[in-house]
C-alpha cells in the first residue's frame, strides 16, 4: 500500500503518521522546494501518481481560486489506477444554515467560490474519490489552550451562534478507516457537540486554571474582517455518514475530551 500525500500540512502530517503505522509506504509532496523535496513541479510526480495505490490532497485553492493540484495534475489523477483518492475539503462549502444541522446532501452555498469549485471537482474527478469536509480543526499545538497561553482571547457574546469542530487525530482516524475499507463519496468529519466558541475558550481556560474572560459583544471585540465573517455563519455539522459508512468511532466526541487530551499531550 502506497499513499501519495499532496500537501503535508497539519492534518495531512497526522494522517501520514496513522497510515505509516498501519503499514502504508508514504510519499509526500511539499509546497517549498529544497534538496530531495518533492513538489508539484517535480518531473517524477506523474510517475508516482500513476503507481500509488492511494492519493490524498490537502492543498487548498490558491489566492486566484484555482486548485493547484487539479491545474497541474488533475488529468493524471483522474486517469490513475489508484483504488482510493481523497481530498480534504471544508464544511465552509455549506455556508450559513442559521444553526440547523447540515449533512452531505446539503447544497454548496459557501461564500468562497474556489473552495466550492474544488470540492465539486474532486468529488467528480475519480471513481474512487472521497471528499472529507472538515470543520474547525484543533489538536496539539493548535487549540484554544495554545491561544490562551499566547495571551488573552476574546469571548464573543452572540447567543445562538455555534459551530462544529474536530480533533486532528479523529481526522486521521476517519481517513484511515476510509482507506482501509470505506466506500467512495462525501463525508463530514466532525465531532458530536457543536458549541459556541466562547464555551470552548472558557473550558480551555478552566483546564489551565485561569478565570474565563468576560463576554464581549461582537462589535466590541476588535475582530478582523475575516474574524467577523466567521460569526456570520452558523451551522451544526452532522457526522452520521462517517459513523455508518466508515464505521469510525470518534476518539474525542466533544471538545471537553479533545482539550483534555491536548493538555495531557503538552504536559512535560
In this predicted structure, what is the pLDDT of residue 22?
97
- Answer whether 10's CB lies under 8 Å from 40's CB: no
In this predicted structure, what is the pLDDT of residue 111?
87
Radius of gyration of the CA atoms of the chain, in A: 19
Judged against a pLDDT cut of 80, whether residue 222 lies above it is answered with: no
Report, as an integer, the average pLDDT of 115-122: 97
In this predicted structure, what is the pLDDT of residue 31?
82
The highest-confidence range among 107-116, 118-127, 212-221, by mean pLDDT, is 118-127
pLDDT, tens only, 159-181? 999 999 999 999 999 999 999 99
- Residue 12's region, left for phi above 0, alpha for psi from -120 to 50, else beta, is alpha
Mean residue pLDDT of the chain comes to 95
In this predicted structure, what is the pLDDT of residue 148?
96
**pLDDT, greater one: 164 or 224:** 164
In this predicted structure, what is the pLDDT of residue 229?
82
Q: In 3-state terms, what secondary structure has residue 167?
A: strand
What CATH number did the domain enclosing 65 receive?
Answer: 3.40.50.720
- What are residue 186's DSSP bridge partners? 131
- Answer whether 170's CB lies under 8 Å from 239's CB: no
- pTM confidence score: 0.95
In this predicted structure, what is the pLDDT of residue 36?
78
How many other C-beta atoms can be found within 10 angstroms of the C-beta atom of residue 49?
21
**pLDDT, greater one: 151 or 228:** 151
C-alpha distances (whole Å) from 167 to each of 138, 142, 144, 227 are 5, 10, 12, 21
In this predicted structure, what is the pLDDT of residue 169?
98
pLDDT, tens only, 52-77? 999 999 999 998 999 999 999 999 99
Domain that holds residue 187: 2-266
What percent helix, strand, coil does the chain show, rounded to 5? 40, 20, 40
In this predicted structure, what is the pLDDT of residue 18?
97
User: Which residues are CB-contacts of 13 (< 8 A; sequence separation ≥ 6)?
Assistant: none
Judged against a pLDDT cut of 80, whether residue 126 lies above it is answered with: yes
**C-alpha span between 261 and 204 (Å, rounded):** 11
Number of domains in the chain: 1
Judged against a pLDDT cut of 90, whether residue 45 lies above it is answered with: yes
Amino acid at each position: 500500500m502506497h499513499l501519495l500525500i499532496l500537501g503535508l500540512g497539519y492534518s495531512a502530517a497526522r494522517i501520514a503518521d496513522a497510515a505509516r503505522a498501519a503499514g502504508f509506504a508514504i510519499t509526500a509532496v511539499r509546497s517549498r522546494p529544497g534538496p530531495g523535496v518533492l513538489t508539484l513541479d517535480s518531473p517524477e510526480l506523474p510517475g508516482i501518481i500513476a503507481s500509488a495505490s492511494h492519493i490524498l490532497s490537502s492543498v487548498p485553492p490558491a489566492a486566484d481560486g484555482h486548485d493547484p493540484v487539479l491545474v497541474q495534475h488533475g488529468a493524471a489523477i483522474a486517469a490513475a489506477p489508484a483504488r482510493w483518492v481523497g481530498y480534504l475539503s471544508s464544511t465552509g462549502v455549506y455556508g450559513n444554515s442559521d444553526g440547523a444541522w447540515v449533512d452531505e446532501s446539503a447544497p454548496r452555498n459557501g461564500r468562497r467560490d474556489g473552495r466550492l469549485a474544488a470540492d465539486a471537482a474532486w468529488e467528480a474527478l475519480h471513481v474512487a474519490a472521497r471528499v472529507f469536509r472538515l470543520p474547525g480543526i484543533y489538536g496539539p499545538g493548535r487549540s484554544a489552550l495554545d491561544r490562551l497561553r499566547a495571551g488573552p482571547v476574546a469571548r464573543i457574546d452572540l447567543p445562538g451562534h455555534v459551530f462544529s469542530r474536530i480533533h486532528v487525530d479523529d481526522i486521521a482516524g476517519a481517513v484511515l478507516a476510509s482507506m482501509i475499507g470505506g466506500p467512495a463519496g462525501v463525508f463530514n468529519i466532525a465531532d458530536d457537540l457543536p458549541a459556541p466558541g466562547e464555551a470552548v475558550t472558557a473550558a480551555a481556560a478552566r483546564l489551565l486554571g485561569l478565570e474565563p474572560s468576560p463576554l464581549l459583544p461582537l462589535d466590541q471585540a476588535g475582530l478582523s474582517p475575516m474574524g467577523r465573517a466567521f460569526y456570520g455563519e452558523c451551522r451544526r455539522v452532522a457526522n452520521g455518514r462517517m459513523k455508518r459508512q466508515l464505521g469510525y468511532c470518534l476518539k474525542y466526541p466533544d471538545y471537553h475530551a479533545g482539550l483534555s487530551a491536548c493538555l495531557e499531550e503538552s504536559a512535560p
